[in-house]
Amino acid sequence: MNRREFARTVAVLGVGSAFSSAVFARDKKHKPVATPADIGLETQMPFTGADSLRVHGATVGLPVGCAVVPERVDLSGEQAGGSGDLYTRTVKEQAAIVVAENAMKWSSLRPSIDTYDFAATDKLFACAQQFSQLVRGHNLCWHEQLPKWFATTATRQNARILLTDHIQTVAGRYAGRVHSWDVVNEAVHIPDGRPDCLRKSPWLELLGPGYIEQAFQSAAKADPQARLTYNDYDIELDTAEQVAKRGQVLMLIRRLHARGVPIHAVGIQSHLQANGPQPGAGLVQFIRDVAALGLEVYITELDVNTHSLEGGPDVQDQAVAAVYKGYLSLVLPEPNVKAVLTWGISDAHTWLNESKQPWALRPDGARQRPLPFNDNYAPAPAFYAMRNAFDYSRMPVVPNDITAPPPSQQPAGDPYAPFTVPGSPGAPQSPPHSI
């Protein structure tokens, strides 16, 4: 499909979506009977195909997706004509871009110092191909989820070769097929007390601060096409702690950029909290500071934690949706924000329901509801909050071959005023037989 056909398809699908939603609330005589919200059926509104997150994202040129567990995907069912598995169907329908939640980490890929296990990651790429999805790589260098043998085997003598070989082998294997690589993850940690504010990670202890630059150089060599990303957390808020960390992350990126290190993007993890302070002006300024360096920004691990929010499922859902709405409408107007991924797709499988850490457990013992789909794979209020944010916070994609009319031909009036979609129930009727 060429660009023009794609734009047309998206436009047609968009009309279909407006039409089906409107029809839902009308009886046979075309009188509105109730809104879906009135009768509590919001979750039965269409949410797949033209109504999915991936198509709404595509309409505004934004790859939208999620972290996946490749082992859970029913690839053989899909290849045999279509899987009935809800996880598989939801990932397929909703995601235009995927990232492995754990499968690409050292602990998954490296059973021993001289072996690699690519079973899960090869499957991830096969699934992505089957579902026409982009793939993010996560991650090549991190202080966590290192294999057990690492602590006893890695030394100052072999650490450089261990790191560069790993990057060459892993990024090299999938070269040309990766949208972006999280080359270094979470390297800034002010409480460790270093003047450069870098984390005292095993990599830093073994190699010194140059390990970051080394990792980016190796990744650029192994996969010249992937956008090389620095990814970090707790840089979203305007609290004193996060303002300080965000400043240090910016300094790190500026240092790397100034030294000519191949870095193309910053990942903002975006593990947000339902209550307490929310992201604001400081984050927007950070995104613009990153843009000034010519770098993209990806929202890499979005979810909303309700561990300290009192109230039942509805209270959680509304609070979570409000955070999605506030956050996405804050960051999406920034044109260098180029991808949005949630950390999982359904509450049925999220680290916040799998972890036993105090920051994940609710005092009432209830499950968390951090993702766009609930435990039963029905869209949650967060799904609609995301979709609306894509619709309203970004400019639709305009195909190259359609030029804007000169100013004198532009219609007068408010360009942002609501307008009816031709063919939708509220639109003026076309004369009979006209096309």
By CB under 6 A, name the binding residues for ligand XIL: 101-102, 185, 233, 269, 301, 351
| Nearest residue relative to ligand XIL (C-beta) | 351
**Contact assessment for residue 351 and residue 360, using Cβ atoms and an 8 Å cutoff:** yes
Q: Is 170 helix (H, G, I), strand (E, B) or coil?
A: helix
Q: Which residue, 18 or 124, has its beta carbon nearer to ligand XIL? A: 124
- Taking CB atoms within 8 Å and a gap of at least 24, the contacts of 160-166 are 160/207, 160/214, 162/113, 163/203, 163/207, 163/211, 163/214, 163/215, 163/218, 164/214, 164/218, 166/106, 166/109, 166/110, 166/140
**Integer distance in angstroms from the first to the last C-alpha of the chain?**
24
CB of 270 to ligand XIL, least distance (A): 10
Nearest approach, Cβ of residue 274 and ligand XIL (Å)? 17
Specify whether 5 is catalytic: no
- From 78, 101, 296, 301, active-site residue: 301
Residue 184 or residue 283: which is nearer to ligand XIL going by CB? 184
Query: Distance between CA atoms of 40 and 309, rounded to whole angstroms?
Result: 24
Residue 341, SS3 per DSSP = strand
- Annotated catalytic residue: which of 78, 186, 236, 296? 186
The residue ranges of DSSP E strands in 186-286, in sequence order, are 227-232, 265-268, 271-273
Residue 101 is a catalytic residue: no
Closest CA to 306 of 255, 256, 350, 262: 350
Residue for token pair 């991830």: 124
Q: How many CA atoms lie within 13 A of 47 on its CB side?
A: 25
Nearer to ligand XIL, 296 or 301 (CB): 301
Q: Are 339 and 345 in contact (CB under 8 A)?
A: no
- Is the CB of 125 or the CB of 233 nearer to ligand XIL? 233
Residue closer to ligand XIL, measured from CB, 58 or 266? 266
Write the CB contacts of 354 (distance below 8 Å, at least 6 apart in sequence).
360
Using the minimum distance from each CB to ligand XIL, give the nearer residue, 103 or 159.
103
Q: What distances in angstroms separate CA 355 from CA 351, 359, 362, 368, one per listed residue? A: 6, 9, 11, 11
Active site residues: 186, 301
